[in-house]
Amino acid sequence: MPKALLLENIHPFAAESLRNHGFEVDTQPGALDEDDLIEALDDVDILGIRSKTNVTKRVLDARPGLTAIGCFCIGTNQVDVNYAGTQGIAVFNAPYSNTRSVVELVISDIISLMRRIPAHSNRMRDGVWDKSASGSHEVRGKTLGIIGYGNIGAQLSVLAEALGMRVVFYDIDEKLALGNAHRAGSLEELLLQSDAVTLHVDGRKSNTGFFGEDQFSHMKQGSIFINISRGFVADLDALKRHLESGHLAGAAIDVFPKEPRKSGDAFDTSLNKEDNVILTPHIGGSTLEAQESIGHFVSQRLLDYWEKGSTTLSVNVPELTLGTVSGITRIAHLHKNLPGVLAQVNRILGEENINVNAQSLATEGELGYVVTDVSSMPSADAFKALQDLYGRIRMRTLQ
């Protein structure tokens, strides 16, 4: 019986789905460190994680039998995805499933900060009744600057426009503007005109410290700052200085440079005494709807790979979308992207007089993936020849 390990409170649907397809499933509520993860992965075929468990080269080397990793979240920077690919381990994530939840949190943060709700709430708790309009604004007619116009940034622009906001965005890649959104010619151009600035960049290492003193200093007087992307992207000490000087009117931070490994652990930040600041514990995608959707989406990708060899939306191996295996033998061959591999596969099968029903090939970067459906089972000698092919990384047979 194949085994799956699901960590970090992944939605129960994922475990149920895997069990329904014959997996023995172990679930654990928290993240595991490197040593504990290696121990827990003994005989495990599929690993499911969220954002706190780091799957390093050492982990992958220690457990070469691992077949696939499901990141039940958007980001995959907690996994050495490139090395996993070279070891024949496919990695999947959920790039769309929590988009709406993240966008709704950003919208609520914008409205709350523009109306100074955190500051008013703090004063009420201190016993001070301050019914004042000073510093409070409608969002209608204000300019929202979106840095990173991917799935989340684009959907945010649509909802913000529906509230009457003017939207400008900045992205290093060419992106199609939705609605009346306008692409800024530079990051500085966006910062100078935006009443609210929100970050939606990915987890690549080059984004570390991306938004610091220089960027904060270019923001519009009295504007607000929101980061619900990655904790290492923004300099919170610089943000604190600009809040305390009165340059910025407020901020909402959902991600931090250093975060606790599990719920209930102690947490501290230099921003916890600031007035008009919203601090949330990395809950951008933490809604019941989003987590259920992620559980459905990622578990299905894992099962499609396990049962069909389909690599649709994998982040680290070439993509092939494959049908159900029925009445045939499917040979899934992940290999180095070298000339002649397909010819070698067909030569071996031809020498066995095995008819090829269907064949698909995809290559990307240093990897190639060829999947061959045959009508009869190859002999042991043919299997050995396929296993011994030059450049082979991993071969699986599906029936």
Residue 40 lies in a domain: yes
Per-residue pLDDT at 376: 87
* Judgement on whether residues 188 and 204 belong to the same structural domain of the protein: yes
Taking 70 as the pLDDT cut, the residues of the chain under it are none
Give the H or E element holding residue 182: strand 182-183
Both structure tokens of 62: 């220690």
Per-residue pLDDT at 377: 87
Residue 394 lies in a domain: no
- List, by residue number, the catalytic residues: 230, 259, 282
* Judgement on whether residues 187 and 44 belong to the same structural domain of the protein: no
pTM surpassing 0.75? Answer: yes
Final residue belonging to a domain, choices 250, 279, 308: 279
Residue 287 lies in a domain: no
Domain span including residue 198: 99-279
Per-residue pLDDT at 221: 98
Q: To 10 degrees, what angle do helices 288-308 and 12-20 make?
A: 20
* Judgement on whether residues 147 and 173 belong to the same structural domain of the protein: yes
Per-residue pLDDT at 261: 77
pLDDT tens readout for residues 161-179: 999 999 999 999 999 999 9
Per-residue pLDDT at 263: 79
Residue 84: CATH number of its domain:
3.40.50.720
Residue 353 lies in a domain: yes
* Judgement on whether residues 93 and 105 belong to the same structural domain of the protein: no
* Judgement on whether residues 137 and 172 belong to the same structural domain of the protein: yes
Residue 399 lies in a domain: no
d(CA 56, CA 34): 8
* Judgement on whether residues 104 and 249 belong to the same structural domain of the protein: yes
Which residues fall within 8 angstroms of residue 394, CB to CB, at 6 or more apart?
A: 87, 88, 333, 334
- Cα–Cα nearest to 248, from 219, 228, 227: 219
Residue 341: CATH number of its domain:
3.30.70.260
* Judgement on whether residues 189 and 309 belong to the same structural domain of the protein: no
What secondary structure letter does DSSP report for 147?
E
Residue 286 lies in a domain: no
Residue 235 lies in a domain: yes
